[in-house]
């Protein structure tokens, strides 16, 4: 309970006038840090609250209102929401991604569906690309009542989720099931269709607007002197061949050149293809690598070795010549003239990817940046009216979650554009910081861990590495949420008020302050565990 002796004294103006209050409590809603950090714009706190009460379908429906791919995200998202979770200051972050996966898997098992808007808008939208951004846009556009067709060059939908993320992280039956649910909403997906003339396709199809979300499928290359050039392959090609069911021969020793997440996946795939040794060669330090820490740690657990501050200068199987690098005073790697030799039968290039945006060069008004990405406004609209772009095609972090966020944002702006509306963005609430919480209410509660295969069993095949939480574990994990910035009706303010000025309005209705009884002592504010009460100045 709060120390009421530390509260300020109240001034009195005569025996009947009551205290001269300088502040009064007011209930507020602040922005939880998990919500603020989610690139997909999920209301994380809201759906966790549903899980906590056992309303799993309600939680899932609140979740897919923002993100149509929860079973996918629960497996492949790098969960920046957990990085910002205030619970980390108390013990460990809430395992948000694990609860999301639980809901996504439960929905697939139960066959829950999403119904499109009952009032069709009469508008048609073409979506180019069936990756996370395109699928998300299609989902949200259908919810808004528009007719949507997705066209994709790949033989099956999913984009880089299908052809770039290995099955041990994302089983294909999970991806297929989530895509099928979007199709059941009435979204038409045409695979094996490469768009060459966007203007013609828009006109011939009678589309009122277009969202372009072609993934980054073009691998970057570097010239490496090599006697056997066929032994040098790019990571995307390797991952795609494996995704299509092939088992390419890579030899006993594989070197992967690069330091991103694709490099880690390529090295882990090489181990599953039979390589006894897989090494990652990267010209910077571990701290500078673009790969997420979790990805690198999983790779190392599976026997992948890391060679930091190295560049490949020549390759003649079975020998790989590398130059040692050193960081200069600015942190940039510089050659040293010192060389070393590694053993390698195959070199896999994982130096980044570009989006194929050349087909947009002939579209009037569309501008491309020097790196090939598309120049868009804050609403993701290009310079061509009614043509929007997102995902890997625009400057941003290239992850599934960012792509889904772009798809939702684009859908809402496309809807506004089609309806002739203006801005759709409202002001955000202030952020609920850890310093504003009063955590006397919460005790320690250990985070529930997902089961996972041992490192030895992982490399035996492409079976999924991590399992999901059981229902009771998911509920427990959701209950660890601190409800930062938003009242969850703990009755703390009700019990703390010495004047009985806090009035409970009933389940789900929260409370109100009886200002005739309130003295402005601040007891309710001081004890509120989640900073859902603020003391505001009284007009004098």
Structure tokens at 48: 């966790």
35-217+355-432+446-482 topology per CATH: FAD/NAD(P)-binding domain (3.50.50)
Burial of 260 by CB count in 10 Å (0-12 exposed, 13-18 middle, 19+ buried)?
buried
pLDDT at 225: 77
In the three-class reduction of DSSP (H, G, I as helix; E, B as strand; rest coil), residue 510 is classed as coil
Closest by alpha carbon to 366, among 341, 346, 347, 386?
386
How far is 376 from 394, CA to CA, in rounded Å? Answer: 7
Does the domain at 223-350 match CATH 3.50.50.60? Answer given as: yes
Is the separation of the CB atoms in 164 and 248 below 8 Å? no
Is the separation of the CB atoms in 438 and 496 below 8 Å? no
What backbone phi and psi angles, to 5 degrees, belong to 185?
-70, -10
How far is 132 from 40, CA to CA, in rounded Å? Answer: 11
Which residue ranges of the chain lie beneath pLDDT 50?
Answer: 1-18
How far is 118 from 133, CA to CA, in rounded Å? Answer: 24
How far is 503 from 470, CA to CA, in rounded Å? Answer: 38
pLDDT at 540: 62
pLDDT at 98: 97
pLDDT at 6: 42
Element spanning 26, H or E: strand 23-27
Is the separation of the CB atoms in 282 and 259 below 8 Å? yes
Structure tokens at 448: 């529930």
pLDDT at 424: 63
Report the Cα 460 to chain-centroid distance in Å.
29
In which residue are the tokens 């181990």 written? 271
| Residue-by-residue DSSP string for 82-126 | HHT-GGGGTSS---HHHHHHHHHHHHHHHT------SS--S-EEE
Equal fold, 35-217+355-432+446-482 vs 223-350: yes
Is the separation of the CB atoms in 530 and 439 below 8 Å? no
| Residue-by-residue DSSP string for 23-56 | EEEEE---B-HHHHH-TT---HHHHHHHHHTT-H
What backbone phi and psi angles, to 5 degrees, belong to 346?
-140, 145
Question: pLDDT per residue over 496-537, tens digit each?
Answer: 999 999 999 999 899 999 999 999 999 999 999 999 999 999
pLDDT at 138: 98
In which residue are the tokens 């200002």 written? 515
How far is 396 from 388, CA to CA, in rounded Å? Answer: 15
pLDDT at 422: 65
Q: Name 165's bridge partners.
A: none
Every domain of the chain and the residues it spans: 4-29+487-537, 35-217+355-432+446-482, 223-350
- The structural architecture, per CATH, of the domain 4-29+487-537 is 2-Layer Sandwich (3.30)
Structure tokens at 218: 């073009």
pLDDT at 19: 53
Sign of the alpha-carbon torsion through 403, 408, 414, 420: negative
How far is 415 from 144, CA to CA, in rounded Å? Answer: 7
How far is 127 from 98, CA to CA, in rounded Å? Answer: 30
How far is 520 from 8, CA to CA, in rounded Å? Answer: 10
Structure tokens at 441: 């209410």
How far is 249 from 176, CA to CA, in rounded Å? Answer: 28
């Amino acid at each position: 309970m709060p120390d009421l002796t530390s509260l300020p004294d109240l001034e009195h103006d005569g025996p009947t006038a009551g205290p001269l209050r300088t502040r009064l409590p007011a209930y507020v809603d602040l922005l939880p840090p998990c919500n603020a950090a989610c690139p997909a714009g999920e209301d994380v706190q809201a759906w966790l609250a549903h899980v906590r009460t056992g309303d799993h379908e309600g939680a899932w429906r609140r979740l897919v209102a923002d993100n149509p791919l929860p079973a996918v995200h629960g497996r492949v998202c790098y969960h920046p929401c957990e990085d910002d979770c205030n619970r980390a200051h108390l013990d460990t972050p809430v395992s948000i991604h694990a609860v999301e996966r639980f809901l996504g898997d439960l929905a697939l098992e139960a066959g829950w569906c999403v119904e499109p808007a009952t009032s069709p808008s009469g508008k048609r939208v073409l979506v180019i690309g069936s990756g996370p951004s395109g699928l998300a846009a299609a989902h949200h556009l259908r919810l808004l009542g528009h007719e949507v067709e997705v066209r994709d060059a790949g033989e099956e939908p999913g984009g880089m989720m299908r052809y770039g993320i290995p099955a041990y992280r994302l089983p294909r039956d999970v991806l297929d099931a989530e895509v099928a649910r979007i199709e059941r909403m009435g979204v038409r997906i045409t695979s094996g269709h490469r768009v060459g003339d966007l203007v013609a396709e828009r006109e011939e199809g009678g589309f009122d607007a277009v969202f372009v979300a072609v993934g980054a499928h073009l691998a970057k290359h570097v010239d490496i002197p090599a006697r056997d050039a066929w032994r040098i392959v790019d990571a995307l090609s390797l991952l795609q061949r494996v995704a299509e069911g092939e088992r390419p021969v890579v030899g006993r020793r594989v070197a992967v050149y690069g330091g991103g997440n694709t490099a880690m996946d390529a090295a882990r795939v090489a181990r599953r293809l039979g390589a006894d040794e897989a090494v990652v060669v990267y010209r910077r330090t571990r701290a500078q690598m673009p790969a997420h820490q979790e990805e690198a740690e999983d790779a190392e657990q599976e026997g992948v070795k890391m060679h930091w501050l190295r560049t490949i200068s020549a390759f003649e199987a079975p020998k790989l010549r590398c130059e040692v690098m050193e960081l200069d005073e600015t942190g940039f790697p510089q050659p040293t003239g010192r060389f070393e030799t590694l053993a390698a039968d195959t070199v896999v290039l994982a130096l980044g990817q570009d989006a194929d945006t050349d087909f947009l060069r002939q579209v009037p008004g569309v501008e491309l940046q020097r790196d090939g990405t598309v120049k868009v406004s804050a609403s993701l609209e290009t310079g061509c009216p009614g043509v929007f772009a997102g995902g890997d095609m625009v400057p941003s972090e290239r992850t599934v979650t960012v792509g889904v966020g772009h798809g939702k944002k684009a859908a809402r702006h496309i809807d506004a554009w089609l309806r002739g509306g203006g801005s759709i963005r409202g002001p955000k609430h202030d952020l609920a910081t850890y310093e504003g919480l009063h955590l006397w209410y919460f005790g320690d509660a250990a985070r529930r861990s997902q089961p996972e295969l041992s490192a030895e069993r992982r490399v035996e095949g492409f079976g999924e590495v991590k399992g999901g939480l059981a229902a009771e574990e998911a509920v427990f994990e959701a209950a660890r949420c601190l409800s930062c910035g938003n009242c969850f009706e703990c009755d703390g303010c009700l019990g703390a008020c010495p004047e009985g000025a806090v009035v409970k309005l009933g389940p789900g209705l929260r409370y109100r302050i009886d200002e005739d009884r309130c003295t402005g002592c601040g007891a309710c504010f001081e004890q509120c565990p989640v900073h859902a009460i603020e003391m505001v100045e009284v007009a004098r």
